[in-house]
Amino acid sequence: MTPAENDGASPETRASSRNDENPAPGLTLGADSPLGAEVRSGAQSAAREGSHMIRRIRLDLAYDGSVFSGWAKQPSLVTVEGCLEEAARLVLRHDVRFTVAGRTDAGVHADHQVVHFDVPDSAWEGLAARRGKSGDGQSDTPEQALVRKMNGALARVLSAVAPPLRPGARGAALGAVVVRVARAVPSDFDARFSALSRSYTYRIADGLARQGPLNRTTAYWCREPLDVDVLNAAGERLLGLHDFLSFCKPRPGATTIRDLHSVRFERNDQGLIEARISADAFCHNMVRSIVGSCVLVAQGVRGFEWLDSRIETPARDSSVRLAPPEGLVLESISYPADPNEWGPRARRTRSRRPER
């Protein structure tokens, strides 16, 4: 998805959940791979342990999407989810299944992504028993141990699946995923449905002078300079609660009604245009379609009345431009400040679906 911006929406705008569907196959390390054999051995050992009490774990992470074929597992492709699950199996010696706050497409980055997964309590306790010493000489907490071990396991997984680009390089994707925080959370926390909002940044290098090798995978290269004031005037026309069918790729059984909180374009210190966009949730391709449409207006290809018509008469339309994925970054996921509200928020989000 784009980001695969198809994530949980507010109670007023949510479609029914599709999280219970079976996931696609994960990446394969190969029958002869020592790393693959270790993963299989750990999973088989965990399967023999029998039933246990379940612990829910939240991970906060970041990744460089330029080296992945998106978030979601796909056969024979290197994806963020596939690598993360392989690393978790190495660390926990148990199969895990992740629920993500918002899936992302190939080339889309995340500075703050959130996932949750469930493991037997024995696996969590076993992690604590294997924990090491931190820099101050104190024993790691289970949370600290999980962060340290996950990042170490990710280095192994990414080295195994990414070919070296130069002599001595361990892998093109090494370091492309970093787990920043791990914590045990209440069992009713849901990374997707407990969220209040998502925020994205989209960067545009407009004009040849602002384009360079160091931003080729992190910004949209637009040939001509753009007027930021026109971009903002275009974005403001889309704010509010609307059916965004004109700006997304609909999914079966899912609503395209969303509450767009803000769209703001401004130049950063490097002269790049940054669009900051937030909403309760985003449909598939919605952020990139919004940016692409605003750029069309700023280029003079389309007028404001065309943009208005896309909201007033929602329909799939080839005239809407999809901006490239390279400039898109998932910046943050917002949750209720009170952990006691995580479960009720998730239940409200799941339970209501509007009529078109």
Q: Give the residue carrying structure tokens 């931190």.
A: 134
- Burial class, 116, CB count within 10 angstroms (exposed 0-12 / middle 13-18 / buried 19+): buried
Cβ contact 187:203 at 8 Å:
no
Pick out the chain residues at pLDDT < 70.
Answer: 1-52, 128-138, 164-171, 352-356
Strand pairing report for 240-243 and 177-185: unpaired
Residues tagged active-site: 105
What is the per-residue pLDDT for 7? 59
What is the per-residue pLDDT for 69? 93
Interhelix angle 228-236/304-312, rounded to 10 degrees, is 20
Q: Give the pair of three-digit tokens for residue 113.
A: 């992504």
What is the per-residue pLDDT for 139? 72
How much helix, strand and coil, in percent to the nearest 5, is found in the chain? Answer: 30, 20, 45
Strand pairing report for 177-185 and 54-63: antiparallel
Write the pLDDT tens digit of every residue in 199-225: 999 999 999 999 999 999 999 999 999
**pTM beyond 0.95:** no
What is the per-residue pLDDT for 122? 84
Q: Report the chain's mean pLDDT, rounded to a whole number.
A: 84
What is the per-residue pLDDT for 127? 80
Distances (CA, A) of 8 to 164, 240, 316: 37, 17, 22
